[in-house]
Amino acid sequence: MTARKIKNDVFHVGVQDWDRELFDELIPLNEGTSYNSYFVKGSQKNVLIDTVDPSKTDLFIENIKSLGVTKIDYVISQHAEQDHSGSIPKILELYPEAKVVTNQKCKEFLKSLLLIDDSKFITINDGDEISIGNKTLQFIFTPWVHWPETMSTYLKEDKILFTCDFFGSHVASNELFVGQKKERVIEGAKRYYAEIMMPFRSSIKSNIKKIENLEIDFIAPSHGQVYDEPDIIINAYKNWISDDVENKVTVLYLSMHGSTKKMVERFIDDLTKFNIVVEPFNLTNMDVGKLAISLVDSATVVVGTPTMLVGIHPNVAYAAYLFNALRPKTKFLAVINSYGWGGQATEQIKGMVSSFKGEILPPVMVNGYPKVEDIKMIDSLAETVFKKHKEIRIA
Ligand code: FEO
């Protein structure tokens, strides 16, 4: 890799991680990822905005050196997570005059996670500005995108907003700008939003209000490409965080001996007749990212589970845990269950989704293989879902 120019003495000096397959040891990265860092050369001071994952420090240093940088005055740390902060210690070693500029909360995290000495910090408040000569950096606190300390930085003269995880996407690419590939990039950004940002929907609403009145030519996140048309990602986020849902049902299911599968298949057929989009996920082998994307705008989630070890199947419990943690804007939830001698699936799932604020529909609990009367209950559940979707005017 090499340093790439965005605009007037502003360069991307980050690194692509083409081969990374998992993030947080959980999220599959189908297209790798990038750790974006930006170098800003002012007439008086040089600034680095974020660094890169410690596994890529050497390449990162090469990129900085390719610009002939002999002095770094400020390292702005917008987020303490190590994929952005992990190379700060090496920068401080190579450029001992550099100070880490960040907020109080981030400073505490960096001291704890990276053992950076207190004397190395300059602490700033929300809205503060620093001048680097011919350029001015303004700090805008944007908490909970993704940790409580996350902030953005606005380079006023060049109208560039650096947002760290906010508006990011996990993709490795040597194309610096989004350019014409808007649809593909928004698809990746939706996956990233679903997996990482969705639980913080209400914080994102206030953060967008804080930045949307700025004049922005570029949004430069710390993962993925630079947005040369910022409106596309701001508008996509506004849609995802709104309370609007689609005429869609996400079905999370698993079947051991075919009973649950039989009911799920009937349910999908029923919904199809009602022109409701269905996205089924067999939890035997699920892609967490695809499931999360489906949850971004589904009106209804239906969980289909057999009974195992006197409870719901462990894979279903895992999916229910994720649903609860991701806090989607789902309006309706229902359970389809096949049991032998213990039918507590609905109660168990209810107990696992405490963050869900929508309506739980009557479950379909079936002893053994579904019989004619059981199939009628499935038909009735589909009809209930259709009526609920009509009530909220999406069907
Ligand atoms: Fe890309 Fe929350 O770190």
Residue whose CA lies nearest to ligand 1 atom number 3: 81
User: For residue 146, which atom of ligand 1 is closest to its CA?
Assistant: 2
User: For residue 223, which atom of ligand 1 is closest to its CA?
Assistant: 1
In the block, residue with structure tokens 């019989």: 371
Q: Among candidates 201, 213, 236, which has minimal Cα distance to 154?
A: 213
Structure tokens at 256: 């051991």
For residue 286, the model assigns a pLDDT of: 87
Q: Give the tens place of pLDDT for each residue, 302-350.
A: 999 999 988 899 999 999 999 999 999 999 999 999 998 877 888 999 9
Q: Where are the domains of the chain?
A: 4-241, 248-391
Residue whose CA lies nearest to ligand 1 atom number 1: 165
User: For residue 150, which atom of ligand 1 is closest to its CA?
Assistant: 2
For residue 69, the model assigns a pLDDT of: 96
For residue 1, the model assigns a pLDDT of: 66
Ligand 1 center to 82 CA (angstroms): 7
Other C-beta atoms closer than 10 Å to the C-beta of 241 total 21
Ligand 1 center to 28 CA (angstroms): 15
pTM: 0.94
For residue 378, the model assigns a pLDDT of: 98
Q: Residue 233 and residue 192: Cα distance in Å, rounded?
A: 12
CATH of domain 248-391: 3.40.50.360
User: For residue 82, which atom of ligand 1 is closest to its CA?
Assistant: 3
For residue 106, the model assigns a pLDDT of: 98
User: Which whole-number Å values give the CA distances from 156 to 20, 218, 262, 337, 376, in the listed order?
Assistant: 34, 11, 60, 57, 63
Please tell me if the domain spanning 4-241 has the same topology as the one spanning 248-391: no
Determine whether domain 4-241 maps to CATH 3.40.47.10.
Answer: no
User: For residue 196, which atom of ligand 1 is closest to its CA?
Assistant: 2
Ligand 1 center to 223 CA (angstroms): 8
Q: Is 381 strand, coil or helix?
A: helix
For residue 223, the model assigns a pLDDT of: 97
User: For residue 165, which atom of ligand 1 is closest to its CA?
Assistant: 1
Ligand 1 center to 114 CA (angstroms): 15
Ligand 1 center to 199 CA (angstroms): 14
Ligand 1 center to 25 CA (angstroms): 13
For residue 309, the model assigns a pLDDT of: 84
* Residues with C-beta less than 6 Å from any ligand 1 atom: 79, 81, 83-84, 146, 165, 222-223
**Which residue numbers in the chain have pLDDT < 50?**
none
Ligand 1 center to 165 CA (angstroms): 5
Q: Residue 89 and residue 243: Cα distance in Å, rounded?
A: 42
Question: DSSP secondary-structure letter at 361?
Answer: P
Residue type, 244: D
Ligand 1 center to 79 CA (angstroms): 7
Ligand 1 center to 175 CA (angstroms): 21
